[in-house]
Structure 1
Amino acid sequence: MTGMSALDGVRVLEIAHYIAGPQCCQILADHGADVVKIEPRTGEQGRRSWPMHEGDSLYFAANNRGKRSVTLDLARPQGREVLHDLLRTADVLVTNYAPGVPEKLGFGVDDVHAVNERTVVVHVTGFGRTGPKSGWVAYDGIVQAMSGLADMTGSPDGPPTVAGPFVADNVAALQATIAVLLGLAARERTGVGQLVDVGMLDGLLPLLGHHVAASATGHAPTRFGSELPTSFCGLYPAADGWVYLAPVTPRMWARFSAILGRPEWAEREAAEPRWRVHHRAELNPVVTAWTRERTTAEIVAVLQDADVVCGPVQSVGDVLADEHVRERGMTHDVELAGGATVPMAGPALRLAATPARPGDRSPALGEDEDAVLAELGYSAAAVAGLRSAGITGAAGPVDTR
């Protein structure tokens, strides 16, 4: 280990709200980047988003640990002057404001590169910066609905279903993170930054994988619940919960059949490939009867010992208590602005030589602006003048209604 993280020395300016932009920048911060979050004087919208805990937004805290918060009124020329001073030090600018807003407030790509041509500008929007829907406003559920994901999710005889977590937002955050890294890598060769256009809808299409190609064959993908139309797998009730079983290979199917006392199933599958898929309706009641008589722990122990893929269905609480998750360090305690400490999901990537260093605080609104402005050469008097003029400084408590 070097004691360094992968992005040490990289300065990122974040002018973003809600999830996609902030989550991208939190990943960058976890890996050493100095992320300066520029917020309106009333705070970014995520600070007002539920759930709340002792007056602080857990929604906000889950996407903003390890950053430094500065407030600026970008609608005023003096605020833009301060922003331009920050841009002169920036390797990256990340925003997920609607198309046209960056240009209106002085941080469009042309504005940025007029100040610092080396800055990589990543702009996340619902539908991208071009195309007939580029001006549409979007939230996660809208993008899930329009991507085909909702149409493919849920029971075959039920309605389209939007996934519980904010899949579109978080996939866009991951795509934006990749965009930052690609932009920085390209800059190593060219010496200049570039604009990277990240669309939330664009980001979900690759998740559909082979289903995109399959649609060209006349077999459009449909909802199939927890099962797969091409394999024998799915959710089954246990005595104390649910398990997911996936004996998908021939060897797994043979072992699974033997465990259930149905060796003839393996023989039928060997004689007639995909027999188990075609006869799922007959097999499922037998499998269900077997799983209902056993606890999830018993089922998993027996099948994992036989190298048959399976696992319990866990609640979020179960996941947090899972000894594997805990040993992997996938939870990380974060102090909220008000002082309370709560568990959050930790960094998912483990770099052997340059490990992540996740921050342990979610910043209070504007708490770092004195230090950040001093680093730019602003005197204490100059900072006080900006604050008295209403250019910077938190404008009262954040409204969480």
Structure 2
Amino acid sequence: MISAMSGVRVLEIAHYIAGPQCCQILADHGAEVIKVEPPDGEMGRRAQPVHDGDSLYFAANNRTKRAITLDLRSEQGKEVLHELIGRADVLVTNYANGVPDRLGFGFDEVHRINPRAVMVHITGFGRTGPYSSWVAYDGIIQAMSGLADMTGEPDGAPTIAGPFVADNVTGMQAAMAAMLGLLARERTGRGQLIDVGMLDSMFPLLAHHLSVAAAGIGEPTRWGSALPTNYSGLYPAGDGWVYIAPITPKMWESFSALLGHPEWAEQEAAERGWRVRERERIDAQVVEWTRGRTKAEVVAALQADGVVCGPVQSVADLVSDPQVRARGIAVEVPLRDGVHATVPGPALRLADTPARSPGRPPGLGEHTDEVLAQLGYSAERISALHRDNVTGRAS
């Protein structure tokens, strides 16, 4: 099967989420990804949660790759790495600024070895600016990007989102960067350095909120689950919560009639914004209606009348959700000893060049001998690298 990125060789020198997630997206769509790790493995391999000895954190970000271990502090390790660079289309790293240069894969060196290689360098704050030397993790970027300040209840504290939003959004941006770099290479014949900052990657999420703040016409901050500009929000059902958003005039008319208050639609038609100003009074009656029904009953009634709504689901609910199952959004990947992990699958559906079936995450150094042999190394030379601990494995 031909996928969109088939024939593209990617060299991953990355850890944790942003870099590995970028390369996993490329691997899902056909790229050959070789993951280069230090002899004791990248730090994500030891990250919690662990299931039967395997990190589920690692499994969720590293499927369908090949893994090689190299000591890049050694000259022999750098020599092998340079040969891999010579055959790569893309190099992805999320090592801190300065580290790639120290380990022999700064862009100048990459470009000297392979002028056609695209290098995607992910850092917390980019390669320039007063914070460029700062190390960042997901929570730091959520805090500094405005996301935490805009999340939570109006009278509550800033809140860090449960999922690693900054890491994963950056991984997506980096995957797009790699593809843009390859597209540009088709026109110029040359690779380039692409500077991906985690803080930069979060800015598109701010959208018009940034415009409002810059214009001095407001200060976007926390408003909980209710939109400040329209009528929507979370409401308690008898067995959980539902999100209801009768935003359009037609939906508001249907919603008002369903709850036995057709006058609400008349008031909103006469005074635009009335439902927002009267939210507290309307909410009390909506809650009375939703509390007497299950989530499924609320959703069924509203959907039947064309009102946008949905149940609040836990992550555990999603495992058996019929839409998730029908779309194949969650996939099982094998680990070891017959154990499987359920992880998020490819998000995109390409009709003619579909993503390939997800493979398992590689064992530490699992493909070292295979990759070295493909570089033309003899069995004796491979054994010597093992003996000298260049690959972290003495013979």
TM-score, normalisation: structure 2: 0.98
Task: Compute the displacement of 1:36 (Å).
Answer: 0.1
Structure 2 equivalent of residue 376 of structure 1? 375
Distance 1:21 1:338, change over 3 A: farther
Structure 2 equivalent of residue 290 of structure 1? 289
| Alignment partners' CA distance in 2, 1:244 and 1:359 | 33
Structure 2 equivalent of residue 227 of structure 1? 226
Task: Compute the displacement of 1:394 (Å).
Answer: 4.8
The residue type equivalent to 2:315 in the other structure is V
Structure 1 equivalent of residue 103 of structure 2? 105
The residue type equivalent to 2:384 in the other structure is G
Among 164, 169, 172, the residue aligned to 1:171: 169
Task: Say which SS state the counterpart of residue 185 (structure 2) adopts.
Answer: helix
| Alignment partners' CA distance in 1, 2:36 and 2:375 | 15
Does the 8 A contact of 2:387 with 2:393 survive in 1?
no
Task: Compute the displacement of 1:359 (Å).
Answer: 2.8
| Residues 349-374 of structure 1, C-alpha deviations (whole Å, 9 max, x = no match) | 01000000143211110000111111
Task: Compute the displacement of 1:91 (Å).
Answer: 0.1
Q: Give the paired residue count.
A: 394
Structure 2 equivalent of residue 80 of structure 1? 78
| Residues 138-181 of structure 1, C-alpha deviations (whole Å, 9 max, x = no match) | 00000000001100100000000000000000000000000000
Structure 2 equivalent of residue 124 of structure 1? 122
Does the 8 A contact of 1:65 with 1:358 survive in 2?
no
Runs ≥4 in structure 1, deviation > 6 angstroms?
Answer: none
Task: Say which SS state the counterpart of residue 36 (structure 2) adopts.
Answer: strand
Distance 1:244 1:89, change over 3 A: same
| Alignment partners' CA distance in 1, 2:212 and 2:228 | 13
Q: Please list every run of 5 or more consecutive structure 2 residues that lacks an aligned counterpart in the other structure.
A: none
Distance 1:89 1:338, change over 3 A: farther
Does the 8 A contact of 1:14 with 1:95 survive in 2?
yes
Q: Which deviates more from structure 2 when the two are superposed, residues 366-375 or residues 337-346? A: 337-346
Does the 8 A contact of 1:366 with 1:394 survive in 2?
no
Alignment of 1:321-332 (within 5 A): 321-332=320-331
Does the 8 A contact of 2:17 with 2:167 survive in 1?
yes
Q: Does 1:342 align with 2:341?
A: yes
| Alignment partners' CA distance in 2, 1:358 and 1:120 | 26
Among 27, 30, 42, the residue aligned to 1:29: 27
| Alignment partners' CA distance in 2, 1:394 and 1:47 | 17
Distance 1:395 1:358, change over 3 A: farther
Alignment of 1:58-69 (within 5 A): 58-69=56-67
Task: Say which SS state the counterpart of residue 257 (structure 1) adopts.
Answer: helix
| Alignment partners' CA distance in 1, 2:385 and 2:231 | 65
| Residues 320-348 of structure 1, C-alpha deviations (whole Å, 9 max, x = no match) | 10111101111111112454111111100
Task: Compute the displacement of 1:281 (Å).
Answer: 1.1
Q: Please list every run of 5 or more consecutive structure 1 residues that lacks an aligned counterpart in the other structure.
A: 397-401
Does the 8 A contact of 2:63 with 2:361 survive in 1?
yes
Q: Does 1:265 align with 2:264?
A: yes
Among 164, 172, 181, the residue aligned to 1:183: 181
Structure 2 equivalent of residue 254 of structure 1? 253
Q: Which deviates more from structure 2 when the two are superposed, residues 313-322 or residues 12-21? A: 313-322
Task: Compute the displacement of 1:257 (Å).
Answer: 0.1
Q: Does 1:390 align with 2:383?
A: no
Q: Which deviates more from structure 2 when the two are superposed, residues 319-328 or residues 334-343? A: 334-343
Structure 2 equivalent of residue 56 of structure 1? 54
Q: Which deviates more from structure 2 when the two are superposed, residues 246-255 or residues 335-344? A: 335-344
Does the 8 A contact of 1:27 with 1:347 survive in 2?
yes
Task: Say which SS state the counterpart of residue 37 (structure 1) adopts.
Answer: strand
Task: Say which SS state the counterpart of residue 306 (structure 2) adopts.
Answer: coil
Q: Does 1:313 align with 2:312?
A: yes
Does the 8 A contact of 1:36 with 1:69 survive in 2?
yes
Task: Compute the displacement of 1:379 (Å).
Answer: 0.8
RMSD of the TM alignment (CA)? 1.1
Among 92, 95, 106, the residue aligned to 1:94: 92
Task: Say which SS state the counterpart of residue 34 (structure 2) adopts.
Answer: strand
| Alignment partners' CA distance in 2, 1:64 and 1:393 | 20
| Alignment partners' CA distance in 2, 1:132 and 1:284 | 47
Does the 8 A contact of 1:39 with 1:70 survive in 2?
yes
Does the 8 A contact of 1:334 with 1:342 survive in 2?
yes
Identity percentage of aligned residues: 65
The residue type equivalent to 1:5 in the other structure is S
Task: Say which SS state the counterpart of residue 46 (structure 1) adopts.
Answer: helix
Task: Compute the displacement of 1:198 (Å).
Answer: 0.3
| Alignment partners' CA distance in 2, 1:218 and 1:299 | 38
| Residues 102-142 of structure 1, C-alpha deviations (whole Å, 9 max, x = no match) | 00100110010110010000000000000000000100000
Distance 1:369 1:250, change over 3 A: same
The residue type equivalent to 1:160 in the other structure is P
Task: Say which SS state the counterpart of residue 287 (structure 1) adopts.
Answer: helix
Structure 2 equivalent of residue 40 of structure 1? 38
The residue type equivalent to 1:55 in the other structure is G
| Alignment partners' CA distance in 2, 1:76 and 1:379 | 20
Q: Which deviates more from structure 2 when the two are superposed, residues 217-226 or residues 30-39? A: 217-226
Distance 1:242 1:208, change over 3 A: same
| Alignment partners' CA distance in 2, 1:395 and 1:39 | 16
| Residues 214-236 of structure 1, C-alpha deviations (whole Å, 9 max, x = no match) | 11233010100001100100000
Q: Which deviates more from structure 2 when the two are superposed, residues 377-386 or residues 333-342? A: 333-342
Structure 1 equivalent of residue 137 of structure 2? 139
